[in-house]
Amino acid sequence: MVSATGFGVFSASAARGARVRNHPQQHQLLLGVAATRAAGWATISELSEFMQGRHNAWWGWFQAPEERGLVRKVQGENDRRFVKVHLTRKGYSILDKISRKNIAELRALQLEIMNTPQSRPRDIPACSGH
């Protein structure tokens, strides 16, 4: 288990273990596509906003995941500038694998934090592990 300050390193390691290169950017891209709308796709502009960057600056980040089969881009029929980014099955699978590892680690950290008396305010009971 890692400390709360080391979670970012743990998360990056989990992504590398799931074979996501250039973490956290590619992992963030997968999260952005999955989280943007219920339809299972996002526009390049929406993802750039989600990833807090300029449209042009993030365009390169879409190439590697597309080449690896994690996402696919579909251009609009009427306007070729309108691009939808979809997660592929492989992209969902990798995102799920990383997310499960991160959730398990966060739960372990929660238990550690909540059961450390000096870090828990007096009016919050110790965590029961659920």
Q: Would you say the C-alpha torsion 34, 35, 38, 44 has a positive or negative sign?
A: negative
CA distance 84 to 47: 10
CA distance 25 to 111: 29
Any domain includes 119: no
Q: pTM of the predicted model, to two decimals?
A: 0.66
- What is the length of the chain? 130
Q: How many C-beta atoms lie closer than 10 Å to residue 20's C-beta? A: 25
CA distance 115 to 88: 40
Domain with 85 in it: 4-114
Mean pLDDT, consecutive 10-residue stretches, the chain (130 aa), reads 50 56 74 82 83 65 86 89 90 91 89 74 61
Counted domains in the chain: 1
Any domain includes 122: no
